[in-house]
Structure formats: structure tokens, C-alpha cells
Structure 1
Amino acid sequence: MTGHFFSSQFSELIAKLEQLRLVPICDPIVQLSVEGPALPLISWLSAQTLYPKIYWHGRDRDEDIAAIGSCKSFYFADQVDDNALANIYQQQRNKTNHQDIRYYGGLAFDRSVECWPEFGRAHFILPRIELRRNGNKVRILVNLNFENNDLEDEIQAALNAIATIQKPQPLSPLNKLSLISRSDLPNYSRWKELVEQVTQANFIQSTPKVVLSRHSQIDVDDNIDPWAVLACWQGRNPNSFQFGFQFSPERAFISCSPERLYLRRQQELFTEALAGTTVRGLNPDEDNILAQALLDDCKNSHENQLVRKHIVDALTPLSQYVGADEQPKIFKLNHIQHLHRSIRAQLNPGVSDFELLRALHPTPAVGGLPRHAALNFIRQREGYARGWYAGACGYLNHHESEFSVAIRSALIEPRRINLFAGAGIVAGSNPEEEWQELENKLATVLSILIDF
């Protein structure tokens, strides 16, 4: 450990690890913690050399998390069965009485098709070292997994992880990159064909909404620090979820997503219908005019109402009560604004996170309606595998779990940025206007990265 900001805290953790050799271990999963002063967690994370690296910041609270390493993981490269995943997670929950254990990770948008290397169709991590900041305090956590692991080996693995810790460094400046090439899949002519297929009267009657998306592959003249990009993106969209997963040095997935999939606290669930988009105005008056036009627009209001109805219908069998806003409100981001309805449910006893994930994801805001027909169209026609774009990313915990829908996201590889954006296609959708909506959704991250 090279002169770290948390030297005294890590010395205390090392002492606690040494103590484990002297006492009986009751739980297969053990978590040690100490408190320290706050520091910028993305800067700390960027400086670390141990993978995976994980960052999570919820949309509505003053908490962020940086984590490195892994003492337990669930990774599914091939077909993943939701029931099996639920059983595996439940078994892990039962192996510890510690209420603060969190598994961070995500599910792919479409778990029936091949996904990106390292990310898989589902990948969840119990980190080796985790920093959780609340206000001006940081808790430093070390997790140990004694299930099927030798006690000495596991303690030594934790000590080795601590020894790799680097002191935080200022993030590398984000100099604008030169664009070498850009390719869009689907391209505009194919996009126009797809929109016209979805909006045909016969098709739209049985499948009233399909969310079509585009993969923009952008090759640039230098490598990109994903954590510097995320920090800058975070500054421009502070009222979004901000998260990143980097399982190896080769690729990182980062997102500044406005959309909550759900927040569960015990049996209380909070979710939302976020669909319908317009741009921001150049001044407050113009902004308000655009917002009101969005509220009055039949196509966007219909799209949002479809999403609301689907979520309420999906939650009703799992809940004692479901309530949703009757009228949408405006949710403002840096470059765009959305229609938004809040939805709350009181879950039935025993409903698991994986039942919720199966019921709610993919949402109609990223897939379409009815789900099966819309996903089949996307799978067969869109022309690329979305991977974790529009997937579900977040964390699982005994008492509280939170997931975001991974829109406004980027997969960063050496000298390449893969950007994704989607638009809900319903009756009345115009191909050119929907294509421009994709550009609007990429405007923030492109302005950070590229020298046009």
C-alpha cells in the first residue's frame, strides 16, 4: 500500500483481519468495516489496479460507492434461468446474518442472446474492498468468503488486496479526442425501414410499441479513461443514476441513466414510467413552452400511459397495493426532458428481487408492448446485440435493493467508444424525428468526448 490517504484505517482493518485467526468463524460470509474521512471516490477508483472496479451512485440520495476486487461472483455467459439465479442468490443470503452485504452487478437487456465478454447475460459481484460515502464520512468495508475457502487463504487474499491499494490521483484531464470514424447500426436508411414496419396499421394493432435503438461505434485517436468520462458526465447530469462496471482493463460500461427500474425497501417498492422526450429550451420561457408541448403531445402521452399501465399490470399479482400518478410530470435533464409518472407498491410477503426483475425488465420504455412480440422484433431486426445497454444494473441486499435501467450508456474499449440510444416507436412516429431524438440523447456524452 503506497502511502495511502486511508493508511490508519487500513492498518485497523489489517488488525481486524489478523484477529479472525484467533476466533471461531460463524458465518461463511464476513464483513469488516472502519470509518474514515470522505474523498472523491471516482478519483480513488480510477487509481486502483485491482479488478473488477465498480462505481454506483443512486439518483435520489447522497451516497456513492466505489468497490474493487471480488470475493464472490455469479457470472452467466450462456443461457441464464431466472429461477436458478434467484435460488443461487437466496442461498447466498442465507449464508450470513450480516445485513449490510451487497452484491453489485447487472443483467443484459436480452438474456436469450449472446452478450459482451466478461459482462455476460448476468454478472454480480460481492466486492473484496468497498468504500461507501455518506456526506463527509466514508465506510471502508472488506468482505471475506469462507465458504469452500481455507481460512488462511481467504485472510491472505484480503491482505493482498489491501496491499494493492493506491492513493487517489487527480483524474486525467479530458482532452477532446479526434474522431477517426463513426458507424451507426442500424444506419438511417435501415432505421427508416424499421420505423415504417412498426408503424404499419396491421403491425401496430397487435404491437402498439417497439423501442428501436442504435449502436454508434466511434473510433478515436487515443485511449479513454472511463472513470474520467463518468465523472464529467456525472457533473452534467447530477439528477441521474451514475454507475460503472469494469471487469478487466479492456472494457468498461458506464452510464448516467435517468431511469429507475425499482427501489425496494423491505416490502415497499418504488418505480416509475419514464417515456416521452423533448429537448430543453435555450431559456426558461422556451424550456417551459417545450415542456408544456410535451405534456400536450398525444403521441408522447400515449407512450407514457402504455408504460404506466404495463408496470401496474406486472406488479399487481405481486402486490397488496399498487398506486400510480394519473397525470405525468416533467423530468428535466441537461439536454432533454421526459414525461414521468411515479409508481409505488406494497409487495406481498416473500416476493424476491428476481421475481421483480423478471416482472419489470425489460420495461416497455426500452423494449415495447406486448413484451414478447416487441422483443422478438428487436431480436430479429435491430441488427446488433444490446448487451448491458438497456439492461438492469444495481445492487441486491437483504433489506434494500436498487436497480437502474442502463440507458444513456457507453461501452468503452481501447480507442473506441460504443454509444447507445433508443426511441419508442408508436402510431404516428416519424423516422426523421425519432432519429433526431437518438442524436439528442447522445449530445451530452459526445460533447464531453469529441472535438468536432
Structure 2
Amino acid sequence: MSGHVFSQQINELKEKLIKLKQTPVIEPIVQLSADAPSVPVLSWLGSQVIYPKIYWHGRDKIEEVAAIGSCKDFFFEDQIDDDSLAELYQNQRGKSHGQDIRYYGGLAFDRSVECWGEFGRARFVLPRIEIRRNGNTIRILLNLNFDNTCPQQECEDALAALMQIQRATPLSPPKKLALMGRSDLPNYPRWQELVEQVTQQQFNKTTPKVVLSRQTQLEVDDIIDPWTLLACWQGRNPNSFQFGFQFSKNKAFISCSPERLYLRRQQELYTEALAGTTIRGLNQEEDQCLAQQLLDDTKNSHENQLVRQHIVESLASLSQYVGAEEVPKIFKLNHIQHLHRDIRAQLKMGVSDFDLLKALHPTPAVGGLPRFSALNFIRQREGYARGWYAGACGYLNHYESEFSVAIRSALIEPRRINLFAGAGIVAGSDPQAEWQELENKLATIMSILIDF
């Protein structure tokens, strides 16, 4: 470890481990920490050899986290109901009073159908080691799970993980890939059929909105480093959430998503309606003109209003107060801009994160309205398993939890990348225009990846 940037912190944590072994009474979940020097967090994560690898970067840019390993892993490959998930988490939460204990993970878009193997329908991990940057402060956190484990062995496992920490080396330089093949599911003819079905007057009366999506599978000529790709992506869309989960060497899910599902700080809840899309302009004047057209567009305004209304109604029974912006604003990304409304709530005492996840996920911005009939249509007709695309990804904590909706995301496999995009289909939607919206949403990631 001589010369390692974290040598001092690793020795400090080793000393704390030795003291912990001598403690007669130990909480089931314990977290040790050490202040650390600045390090490029994403480069550090890419250099590590322990899985899983987890990355989280909040949209406000104040906090950035890289985590490796696992000392507790809730993995649900088969169907599980939200009440059982909530009970498990509440039970786990009671095993520590540590304010910084976090479980990172996600829920699939549709937990009633089979998901992507190791990602499961839901999976949450208490990492073994975290590098957490908050502003200019960096800490190394070491988590230990003494619940139903041998304390001596748990300390040895934690020490072994510490000794496997690698120096941060620069990420591989980004390079354009040759496209060997592309397939879209659904393809355009099938997409046209689906849009026409959703916009039929009889169907639209009972289900006014369905968010249809597409999986674009690209076969490429080289291995893709997920962390290099995510670093490039976040450089193009800095005002987004950036996160990634890599549970094994050959598969990673990354996202650069503009959409917050919610941020909870004790009883304060912050969420939003993000729906309605147009492109960016070539200059400031054109950009402003397109933004104004989006604000004036009946179809997009209606779509955003439906999302706002649904979220407010969903939170009503869980909250003492819910307030939402009456008029949407413009939220700008690199290639596109959205309609956006902030929503804030004061939660009732006793409302848990899983109550919120059950109420809010999947939102009408990624599923449709009413939820049951829209999801049923997607499940039966869309033609592929969304998995964690349009799912909820983030972290759970005693005092603060945050989740993003995993739109603008990619599932990376050896020499293959699966990209996802969706569009809200309402009365008056045009198949060709909505297909082009999918292309617009993939423009940023495609421009990074492919040598056209």
C-alpha cells in the first residue's frame, strides 16, 4: 500500500476495525469512516476489481458516490409485492442508528414480469466500501454487517476488501465504435400499429395516455467501458442524474437521466412532473422559439398536466400538504428540452419510502394513465422486457432518500449496447413524429458511441 493515495485512510480504518473487534456489544450494522484526499471518483470506481460497482451523482452536483462490494444484498429475482419489500427494509433499517447507512439499488419498471437476471425485479445493496464526495469533502466509508454473521469473519472480510482497493487510474480514452448491426424493438411498422391502437377513440376514452418505448440494440466492434461512457455522457448532460450499477464484469446498467422520482428529507418531499418534449435550437433565438412553441403546444401541455395531476392525487393520502406549480417551465438538456413542474409535499408521520415508491412508481411520464390499463397494454404489446429502464434507481436512508427515473439509459454487454427511449402517446399523437422523438432522445448517446 506504500504510495497509495488512501494509505493513511486504510491504516486508520484498519485500526478502527481492531478496536471494533474488542467491543463487547456491536450494533448489527456498523459504519466506519475516514476523511480522505480528493480523488476523481468515477476514475477510482473504474479502477476497482471488486463487484458490484455502484455510482451515484445527484442532479444538484453537490454529492457524488462510488461504491464497491456488498455486505448486505437484497436481491429479488422472482415477483415480490411492495408491502413485503417495505417490511424487509423497515426491519433492516432498525438494525442501525447510523445516519449515513445507505442501501443503493433499483426497482424494475414492471415488477410483475421477469427482469434482467442479476438485476432482478428489485435489488438493493449495502456496499462494503464507499467513496463519498460532498462538495469539497471526501470520505471513505467501510460498512460491516454483524447480523447473523461471525463478527471475527466479518472484520476479516472487511479488511480483505480494504486491501484490495486499487489506485485511481485515468479512465480509458473515449473512442468511436464501428456499428456492426442495429435492431429496433418494436420496429417502425409495429410502432405505427401500436400508436394507432392507443389513439383510437374508443381506447383513448378509458386510457388517455400510454408511454410506448423502444429498445435499440447496437452490435459494435469493441468492448465498451461503462464508466468511460458514463463520464462522456455526463459531460454532455451535466444537469442530469448520473448513475450506474455493475453487478458482474459483463453487464452494466448506466443512466444519465433528467428526471427525479423524488427526494425525501425526513417528512419533506420534492418531486416533479417532467413530460412534453421538443428539440434544441441551433442558436439562442431558435432555441427560445422552440421552447415557446412547446409551452404553447396543446398536446404536450396536456401530457404534462396529466402527469402533474396524477402525482398530486397519488400523494394526497400520504401527505398533510401537496403543492404543485400551476404553470410549467422549460427544462433544457443538450439535444432536447422538456416541460417541467416542481411538486412539494409535507408527508404524514409514518409514511415510508416504499409507500412513496408504491404511490409514485411508475409515473405517468413513463407508464401512462390510468396506471393499471396503461401498464397492461405495455406488458402485452410492447414486445420486450424493459427491466430497469424506466425503473426507479437511487438510495434508501433513515433521514434522506433519493430516486431518479431511469430514462436515457443503457444496458451494456460485451460488444453490444441496448439503448432505450420512450414517448407519451395521447390523442392526436403522430407515429412518425413520436418515432423521431425517440431518435432525438438517443442523439446524445449515439453521438458519443458510434462513428457514422
Tell me which interval the TM-score lies in, with the shorter structure as reference length: over 0.9
Query: Structure 1, residues 396-420: CA drift from partner, whole Å, max 9, x if none?
Result: 0000000000000000000000000
> Is 1:374 equivalent to 2:374 in the alignment?
yes
Residue in structure 1 matched with residue 54 of structure 2 by the alignment: 54
Q: Give, in angstroms, the shift of residue 135 of structure 1.
A: 2.3
Q: Secondary structure at the match of 1:131?
A: strand
Q: Give, in angstroms, the shift of residue 2 of structure 1.
A: 7.3
For residues 7-406 of structure 1, the aligned pairs below 5 Å read 7-406=7-406
Gaps of 5+ in 2: none
Asked whether the equivalents of residues 58 and 241 of structure 1 are also in contact (C-alpha less than 8 Å), the reply is: yes
State the TM-score, normalized to the length of structure 2: 0.99
In 2, Cα distance between equivalents of 1:304 and 1:405:
16
Asked whether the equivalents of residues 273 and 308 of structure 1 are also in contact (C-alpha less than 8 Å), the reply is: yes
Q: Secondary structure at the match of 2:233?
A: helix
In 1, Cα distance between equivalents of 2:25 and 2:157:
17
In 2, Cα distance between equivalents of 1:118 and 1:14:
32
Query: Structure 1, residues 177-202: CA drift from partner, whole Å, max 9, x if none?
Result: 00000000000000000000000000
In 1, Cα distance between equivalents of 2:91 and 2:181:
48
In 1, Cα distance between equivalents of 2:408 and 2:214:
12
Asked whether the equivalents of residues 281 and 290 of structure 2 are also in contact (C-alpha less than 8 Å), the reply is: yes
Gaps of 5+ in 1: none
In 1, Cα distance between equivalents of 2:242 and 2:355:
25
Q: Give, in angstroms, the shift of residue 3 of structure 1.
A: 4.3
Asked whether the equivalents of residues 218 and 418 of structure 2 are also in contact (C-alpha less than 8 Å), the reply is: yes
Q: Give, in angstroms, the shift of residue 174 of structure 1.
A: 1.0
In 2, Cα distance between equivalents of 1:150 and 1:300:
57
In 1, Cα distance between equivalents of 2:35 and 2:200:
60
In 1, Cα distance between equivalents of 2:441 and 2:39:
31
In 1, Cα distance between equivalents of 2:87 and 2:306:
32
Asked whether the equivalents of residues 5 and 37 of structure 2 are also in contact (C-alpha less than 8 Å), the reply is: no
Asked whether the equivalents of residues 276 and 304 of structure 2 are also in contact (C-alpha less than 8 Å), the reply is: yes
In 2, Cα distance between equivalents of 1:192 and 1:37:
54
Asked whether the equivalents of residues 321 and 345 of structure 2 are also in contact (C-alpha less than 8 Å), the reply is: yes
Asked whether the equivalents of residues 211 and 424 of structure 1 are also in contact (C-alpha less than 8 Å), the reply is: yes
Query: Structure 1, residues 9-36: CA drift from partner, whole Å, max 9, x if none?
Result: 1111111111111112331000000001
In 2, Cα distance between equivalents of 1:42 and 1:203:
47
Asked whether the equivalents of residues 108 and 389 of structure 1 are also in contact (C-alpha less than 8 Å), the reply is: yes
In 1, Cα distance between equivalents of 2:56 and 2:204:
38
Runs of 4+, deviation exceeding 4 Å: none
Asked whether the equivalents of residues 4 and 165 of structure 1 are also in contact (C-alpha less than 8 Å), the reply is: no
Asked whether the equivalents of residues 2 and 167 of structure 1 are also in contact (C-alpha less than 8 Å), the reply is: no
Query: Counterpart amino acid of 2:293?
Result: A
Query: Structure 1, residues 331-376: CA drift from partner, whole Å, max 9, x if none?
Result: 0000000000000000110000001000000000000000000000
Query: Structure 1, residues 315-342: CA drift from partner, whole Å, max 9, x if none?
Result: 0010000000000000000000000000
Residue in structure 2 matched with residue 451 of structure 1 by the alignment: 451
Residue in structure 2 matched with residue 423 of structure 1 by the alignment: 423
Q: Give, in angstroms, the shift of residue 74 of structure 1.
A: 0.4
Asked whether the equivalents of residues 237 and 256 of structure 2 are also in contact (C-alpha less than 8 Å), the reply is: yes
In 2, Cα distance between equivalents of 1:24 and 1:219:
56
Query: Counterpart amino acid of 1:81?
Result: D
In 1, Cα distance between equivalents of 2:5 and 2:49:
16
Q: Secondary structure at the match of 1:378?
A: helix
Q: Give, in angstroms, the shift of residue 99 of structure 1.
A: 1.2
Residue in structure 2 matched with residue 407 of structure 1 by the alignment: 407
State the identity as a percent. 74
